[in-house]
A and B are shown apart, each in its own frame.
Chain A
Amino acid sequence: MPRELLARDELLVKVVAALEEGVEPTRRVIRAQRTATLELLQRHARTKAEAARRGQLARLLAVDLVIAHAEADAAWLDRCEARVVAAAGAAGAEGPR
């Protein structure tokens, strides 16, 4: 595990910490984070619609950037859940460690 990544990525820290608790607690953390990310994206989407209505191109580009980051988080969380489920399946009832 790259230490510098753990040191700066709060999302990664949360998920990795949850792994110690087992599969279901990890999935709960992932789902909670995904829901929070989607709620953030919903707010960005409203901001974007407003910027589009007002023809504010610079603001649109800025919102596109934060949306791209949040989308990447959501995609990564989806991948995390798939990996956790797959690892749990491979390891049987023990769950991933």
Chain B
Amino acid sequence: MTAVRELEEVTRLYGSGRAAVRALDGVSLQVGPGELVAVMGPSGSGKSTLLNLAGGLDRPTAGRVVVDGTDLGALDRRRLAALRRRRVGYVFQDLNLLPGLTAAENVALPLELDGAGTRQARVEALAALDLVGLAERAAAFPDQLSGGERQQVAIARAVAGRRVLLLADEPTGALDSLAGEAVLALLRARCDDGLAGVLVTHEARYAAVADRVVFLTDGRVVDQTAAGAPSPAGGGPGAAG
């Protein structure tokens, strides 16, 4: 399996000299197509730094970040921005939906900014909304949607077009538990369809939806769950019904 996203011995320092803060310290992480990896750790452990580096929002002080075969360090700002727009989808706790645009227009906007025609962008936006079960609400404005629905729109926006990598930073933060579960199920489904996903969360129940859970402490990976744990299809050891 070729990794969609790969971090090789990545270090990120903030500041310099004796005041330098080592936010990430030699972290390596691979995420393949169809794989969802959760990242957990206490505040200040480097989770958000890792996500920012993974998505090309920040550059490492040392090490390499490779997305879909492209070394981000080899790209100039313009090409890096294009790769971010086309290949990487982001879901944040703050949804960043534009209140004056409908759900469909919010999803279509990044595609149009990337050069797609209005009609093509709308077709892809409606397809993405359909994927997250929100096609019937395409014409609704954000303030007409519930918190869970707004997050569904944000996920549709993150997967619309030809994205290969989905990055989610506490996507369930403002939601009640059932709405949070629904959002995680959507992320899981998109990864089952072939996207590579990285989920930062502090909630164990949501992290458990991932194929692998990585624990960060003080900028280092200190542990991770085994990949490919047995499926419960036959009533595995976790079956409790």
Contact = CB atoms under 8 A, between A and B. Distances in A.
Interface stretch (A4-12, A13-21, A37-45, A88-96): A37-45
Contacts of B213: 35, 38, 42
B211 to A, nearest CB: 8
Contacts, number: 86
Most buried by A among B204, B205, B226, B237: B204
Nearest to A70: B204
**Interface range on chain A (Cβ under 8 Å from partner):** 35 or more
Contact of B238 (A44, A71, A81, A82): A44
A49 B185 contact: yes
Contact of B241 (A56, A67, A71): A56
B241 A42 contact: no
Interface string B205-217: 1011110010100
B169 to A, nearest CB: 19
Interface in A30-69: 31-32, 34-35, 37-47, 49-52, 56, 58-60, 62-63, 65-67
B229 A45 contact: no
Main SS at interface, chain B: loop
A50 B207 CA distance: 17
Contact of A45 (B209, B226, B230, B235): B209
Interface residues on B, range: 20 to 34
Contacts of A56: 241
Contact of A47 (B205, B224, B226, B239): B239
B118 interface: no
Interface in B222-241: 222-226, 229-233, 235-241
Contact of B207 (A32, A38, A58, A63): A38
Nearest to A72: B204
A44 B240 contact: yes
Interface of B: 40, 42, 185, 188, 203-205, 207-210, 213, 215, 222-226, 229-233, 235-241
